[in-house]
Chain A
Amino acid sequence: MSDINREELGEWLSSYLDGELNREQEELIERRLREDESARRLLEELRRTADLVSSLPRHRAPTSISEDAMLHVERSELLGEPDAPQERLGGRRSPIFALVSMAAAICLLAIGLPFLIGDREPDTPLRQERLALAPEKSTDIEAGELGDVKMVSRLKDRRETSRTRRERTGIASTAAKSDERSSLLATADIGRKFGAGLGAASVRTHAFANETVRLKVTVQNEVQRDAVTERLTAYLAERHAVNLSDKMPDDAGKAAPAGSFYYPGDPSTNFTETNQRQILMRASRRELDGMMDELARVAPASDSVALVAGPFSIRGLERARTALYGFEEPVPAVATRRIVGDRREAEAIERDEAAWASPGQPPARKDDLFDGLFEAIGLDPKILSLAPTRESDADTADAETQELPDLTGTAIADAGEPETRMAEQAAWEDMRIHGKEGKRKRSAPAPAERPSLVDRRKKALDESWRRRDKLANVPESTAEEAPTYRAETEARDARPAGGLVVDRSTEPYVTLVVQVIVAGPDNGKPAPAVRRAKPTSGAKDKKRGSSQDER
């Protein structure tokens, strides 16, 4: 003890002061203190300093801290966000949880179907969040238009209380920073971040878990994982999708990218497990098709691909492919412009575009996730019942995987769903496809002959895609047209003088996260399978058609 320097002595004395020495060390230091005047002085200085620091005044935390924190927590709970702790517990889901999920899925469908048939947007959590995000004036919506008025008004009340308290505590300058809007944006999906003007740079801190749609590819080892990821990113690059990680350094904070993009995730932000890779991407149907083809080539088996969307998990490459189309939505009005060579054609395209995005049209329905899901599981959406059939009861015994419930039963239309809504919807779709004349051209079919809602919507979608293809001048099947497209692509990049710029911002895209994960004890468990509904007399044909589509 006598040969240690002053620095070491000081450390010993600090520890002695804080009661961090054992008995033997204490005796040593006390002996030194008895013998050494300078050690005693040093100890006194240290004690004095510690006392001065510990006597510094304390403030009570502003009450708005707990209120704001609880507002966020409550919101997470109410909206079922992925950051709610109880949702991420356990990792592996129990069969009971699966059954509860199925029941929830049925309820979701039961709630969503009237909106499908009517002209309202389904009251999804996304919609509720969007309502909460909207300016104050837009929250003054009639009660009937909100799915859960109590929840929204409660959030509003809490927000108001919180704001008032913040003003009272005099810390007004931070109110804006900690406003719910910013926390809502932090958890918003990428589409709404772009919509809010956050720009491409916002993907840097974007949590991929906020995306509704995930395409999960399970592989056996890290080599496969990297190969699949690289192949997909290479494919997207070949398709001229914008790589946001390349774009960000120069264009940080600037406009959202138009059209397709991809962003390989950041492990510190987007991966919960080290054995996975994730890509956030937005792709058109054509690109999605190409990507699924790539996956079919590189993924080990069709079953290793699953589409996870909210409570649904759809296993199998082709089912996932079909279901993905249900998530298409138009890209927000950002300049997606192309050069075309021929003025007459360009003017025709402009007219079509104007008709396509005409004001006063009913709300966009592209975010109906049910169509794709119905198609994927081979169901006619008109058919819905909470009571399973006897056949389906028998089948549940051998089900080892998580299954969606059998949704066979009574037709909604027969159960009193207003026929007028269906007619209005059909008329709207006709108008959208054929213009105003379409309504007159349509001859109302007898109820028994009327095509199902899925058929009508599928037809509408196919029609819209033919229209899109025409506008884009991209050949689908005619080999002769291919050079035109290539030339136009080159022309787009070169931007020749005299070309006409056409806004194509309404082209629908799907935003999703591709998750390539190595099979492990938790995450290697195959995604829950979706059992197809037992065929009823009305659904047999549908099922047969769907089976043929699968590989």
Chain B
Amino acid sequence: MTSGRIPRPVPLEDFELIEKVKAGKTEAYGELVRKYQDRVFNACWRICGHLEDARDLTQEAFLKAYEGLAGFRGQSGFYTWIFRVAVNLALSHRRQTQRRREFSFEQGPHPAGSQAKDLSRRVNRGQDDDPARAASETELQGVVARALQDLDDDQRAVVVLRDIEGFDYREISEILQIPPGTVKSRLHRARMSLYQTVRPAVTGDE
């Protein structure tokens, strides 16, 4: 297990590999998958909040990317392209699972009751708690990871892409298909929100 920001990929190598895949050498796609699977997997994990789902999402992203490779014109790097596919999948997955959980709890005998909503929130949070993740994180990291999961989906995606994957604003704008100004404001709000949540653990104030 590692931590910290990761080195940037070399796009030229990717284009060569893609050309090989298009020429029928499918083993070159294996190289692309192996090259980016860790990064895509971690991004999916931090966005969807669950390791097992992240595994499926990563695999699905690579399959979708392969199927769409013929339409890939290289205007953006494969690196950003595969992230766009993966992040979209992860966000859709997250929204779907949230809808299902909220629906199942809030459609009970007291649909408008605050108790049901509170219970739903607790269960959602409980399901996001991943034993594998818990074992690998320090207490502070656990606080940060949970705070990350409490962010809005859009804000979380921006933070993950910037602070975990190290994309610049232009690339994030490309991946999420939003203007760079929106990236800037979402990132700031997300960081401020995160800081408010983790401040007691950081400063020792309760």
Q: Give chain A's interface residues, CB within 8 Å of chain B.
A: 7, 10-11, 13-15, 18, 20, 45-46, 48-50, 52-62, 64-66, 68-70, 72-74, 76-77, 83-89, 171, 173-174, 177-178, 183
Q: How far is the CA of A192 from the CA of B159 in the complex (A)?
A: 44
Cβ-defined contact, A69 with B63, below 8 A: yes
Known: A14-B191, A45-B195, A54-B4. A59 touches B45 (CB 8 A): yes
Q: List 13 other contacts, CB 8 Å, given A10-B192, A54-B163, A61-B42.
A: A10-B188, A48-B195, A49-B191, A50-B191, A52-B144, A60-B41, A70-B27, A70-B29, A73-B26, A74-B26, A85-B70, A173-B52, A183-B63
Cβ-defined contact, A174 with B52, below 8 A: yes
Cβ-defined contact, A65 with B187, below 8 A: no
Contacts of A65 in B (CB 8 A): 33, 37, 41, 55, 58-59, 62
Known: A54-B5, A89-B22, A183-B63. A11 touches B30 (CB 8 A): no
In this complex, what residue of A is CB-closest to B40?
Answer: A61
Q: How far is the CB of A320 from chain B (nearest CB, A)?
A: 27
In this complex, what residue of A is CB-closest to B37?
Answer: A61
Q: How far is the CB of B63 from chain A (nearest CB, A)?
A: 6
Q: How far is the CB of B145 from chain A (nearest CB, A)?
A: 6
Q: How far is the CA of A60 from the CA of B38 in the complex (A)?
A: 5
Contacts of B123 in A (CB 8 A): none
Q: How far is the CA of A476 from the CA of B147 in the complex (A)?
A: 73
Q: How far is the CA of A30 from the CA of B65 in the complex (A)?
A: 43
Q: How far is the CA of A48 from the CA of B197 in the complex (A)?
A: 13
Contacts of B5 in A (CB 8 A): 54
Cβ-defined contact, A178 with B59, below 8 A: yes
B116 proximal to A (CB < 8 A): no
Q: How far is the CA of A20 from the CA of B180 in the complex (A)?
A: 10
Cβ-defined contact, A58 with B42, below 8 A: yes
Q: How far is the CA of A323 from the CA of B141 in the complex (A)?
A: 66
Q: Give chain B's interface residues, CB within 8 Å of chain A.
A: 1-5, 21-24, 26-27, 29-30, 33-34, 37-38, 40-42, 45-46, 51-52, 55-56, 58-59, 62-63, 66-67, 69-71, 132, 136-137, 140-141, 144-145, 148, 159-160, 162-164, 166, 168-169, 184-185, 187-188, 191-192, 194-195, 198, 202
Contacts of A173 in B (CB 8 A): 52
Cβ-defined contact, A61 with B41, below 8 A: yes
Q: How far is the CA of A60 from the CA of B54 in the complex (A)?
A: 12
Contacts of B56 in A (CB 8 A): 174, 177-178
Contacts of A68 in B (CB 8 A): 59
Q: How far is the CA of A178 from the CA of B166 in the complex (A)?
A: 30
Q: How far is the CA of A89 from the CA of B195 in the complex (A)?
A: 49
Q: How far is the CA of A65 from the CA of B56 in the complex (A)?
A: 8
Contacts of B3 in A (CB 8 A): 54-58
Q: How far is the CA of A59 from the CA of B43 in the complex (A)?
A: 10
Q: How far is the CA of A76 from the CA of B192 in the complex (A)?
A: 47
Q: How far is the CA of A84 from the CA of B66 in the complex (A)?
A: 8
Q: How far is the CA of A450 from the CA of B55 in the complex (A)?
A: 62
Known: A18-B168, A49-B194. A72 touches B66 (CB 8 A): yes
Majority-rule SS of B interface residues: helix
Known: A50-B163, A57-B136, A59-B51. A77 touches B195 (CB 8 A): no
Contact partner of A49 (CB less than 8 A), chosen from B59, B63, B141, B195, is B195
In this complex, what residue of A is CB-closest to B181?
Answer: A11
Cβ-defined contact, B2 with A58, below 8 A: yes
Could you show 8 A-B contacts with beta carbons less than 8 Å apart?
Answer: A46-B191, A53-B144, A53-B163, A56-B144, A57-B2, A58-B38, A66-B62, A86-B24
Known: A15-B184, A53-B194, A85-B22. A59 touches B1 (CB 8 A): yes
In this complex, what residue of B is CB-closest to A44?
Answer: B195
Contacts of B71 in A (CB 8 A): 88
In this complex, what residue of A is CB-closest to B59?
Answer: A65
Q: How far is the CA of A173 from the CA of B56 in the complex (A)?
A: 11
Q: How far is the CA of A11 from the CA of B3 in the complex (A)?
A: 26
Q: How far is the CA of A63 from the CA of B187 in the complex (A)?
A: 32
Q: How far is the CA of A309 from the CA of B38 in the complex (A)?
A: 41
Contact partner of A69 (CB less than 8 A), chosen from B62, B148, B188, B192, is B62
Contacts of A69 in B (CB 8 A): 29-30, 33, 59, 62-63, 66
In this complex, what residue of B is CB-closest to A73?
Answer: B26
Cβ-defined contact, B59 with A77, below 8 A: no
Cβ-defined contact, B42 with A77, below 8 A: no
Contact partner of A66 (CB less than 8 A), chosen from B33, B45, B69, B137, is B33
Known: A46-B191, A73-B26. A85 touches B69 (CB 8 A): yes
Cβ-defined contact, B29 with A14, below 8 A: no
Contacts of A84 in B (CB 8 A): 26
Q: How far is the CB of B180 from chain A (nearest CB, A)?
A: 8
Cβ-defined contact, B38 with A61, below 8 A: yes
Cβ-defined contact, A66 with B159, below 8 A: no
Contacts of A49 in B (CB 8 A): 191-192, 194-195, 198
Q: How far is the CB of B41 from chain A (nearest CB, A)?
A: 4
Contacts of B169 in A (CB 8 A): 15, 18, 20
Contacts of A59 in B (CB 8 A): 1, 38, 41-42, 45, 51, 132, 136
Contact partner of A56 (CB less than 8 A), chosen from B38, B46, B184, is B46
Q: How far is the CB of A356 from chain B (nearest CB, A)?
A: 41
Contact partner of A57 (CB less than 8 A), chosen from B41, B141, B187, B192, is B141
Cβ-defined contact, A62 with B33, below 8 A: no
Cβ-defined contact, B59 with A52, below 8 A: no
Contacts of A13 in B (CB 8 A): 188
Of B56, B71, B191, B198, most A-chain CB atoms within 10 Å: B191
Contacts of B21 in A (CB 8 A): 85-86
Q: How far is the CA of A10 from the CA of B27 in the complex (A)?
A: 47
Contacts of A76 in B (CB 8 A): 26, 66
In this complex, what residue of A is CB-closest to B142?
Answer: A56
Q: How far is the CB of B70 from chain A (nearest CB, A)?
A: 4
